[in-house]
Amino acid sequence: MAKTGVIGAGSWGVALAVLLHRNGHEVCVWSRSIQKDGTDRLREKKKQLSDLLGAELPDAIDFTDDLRAAASDKDVLILAVPSPHVRNTAAMMRGMLPEGQIIVSASKGIEESSLRILTDIIGEELPGANAAVLSGPSHAEEVGRGLPTTCVVGARDKETAQYLQNLFLSPVFRVYTSPDMLGIELGGALKNVIALAAGTADGLGCGDNTKAALITRGIAEIARLGIAMGGRAETFYGLTGIGDLIVTCASVHSRNRRAGYLIGQGCSMEEAMAEVKMVVEGVYSAKAALALSQKYGIEMPIVEQVNKVLFEGKNAKDALRELMLRGPKGESGGAQW
């Protein structure tokens, strides 16, 4: 049995807490949101999460508003706060952790100001930590209900990756390992931007053909950038690339697809985010994705149009038309006649 701390009590953090509990591990969950109202707020929070997951949260999972209590003396920490809060949350843990503390990033995003992936941010704020990443096509609602799911854990050394693989592995949660942390994180962050486009197309009344085109050309954009940055091609055509992209573009659980749908229906970005009522990671990653494409000289037309719709007030229908009317090209730049 491992002693684990889950930092962040959103749906994904709690789904992982439930998974770890079912695997026989000790689990403590930190929630900032229960600090003000104490016991009443905790009771409300647990009911909301139980409703979301379709099951009562086990009493053995401890919830606390004390970050030190959740983070100290743990074999593994899972950092599951929204990506914009990763740096601040990691900084709050300075002085609480031993050298070599394993911290698993379970969030997906790229920091807009630095263009850094989240495990790099953890390393900057907590230099002695052993940062790893867990990612893949894994909606919290389905993981919490025990529906079969597959993910990938990435780490800097094989021993850590295999340790974490065994920590999370269960009859309904299959885990693979990979050394390509950069590729895993880029796939997880950038697919949210493409999912906004896919949702927008749904909101405009487009069909399955359009969805397939956006998924296929979207993974081409992600892979081009990821490989240019040093990621491995096979990562982008695996679970944390095309797998995560498919589920986020198509699922009713996807907040990014839902926000995009509302935008396609005529809502502004701000109105869509307010309606979704959860953090829409793709909105925070879109500017970073565009900046990275410019930095590395990579053509990413879908990402470019998403940014114009989100931040420049461009009409979604005009953005789709512009994508369709781009100059004729071959499908694969490396293919020879």
| 3 among known catalytic residues | no
Reported in sequence order, the residue ranges of the chain that DSSP labels E, i.e. its strands, are: 3-7, 26-30, 62-64, 76-79, 102-105, 130-135, 149-154, 173-178
Structural contact between residues 178 and 154, judged by C-beta atoms closer than 8 angstroms: yes
What CATH number labels 3-179? 3.40.50.720
> Can you give the pTM of this predicted structure?
0.94
Neighbours of 270 (CB within 10 A): 10
Domain ranges of the chain: 3-179, 182-324
* pLDDT tens profile 196-222: 999 999 999 999 999 999 999 999 999
Residue 253 confidence (pLDDT)? 86
* pLDDT tens profile 236-269: 999 999 999 999 999 988 999 999 999 999 999 8
Class of domain 182-324: mainly alpha
The contacts of residue 185 (CB under 8 Å, 6+ apart) are 105, 108, 110, 117, 118, 119, 133, 135, 154
pLDDT exceeds cutoff 70 at 41: no
Which is catalytic among the residues 45, 108, 191, 287? 191
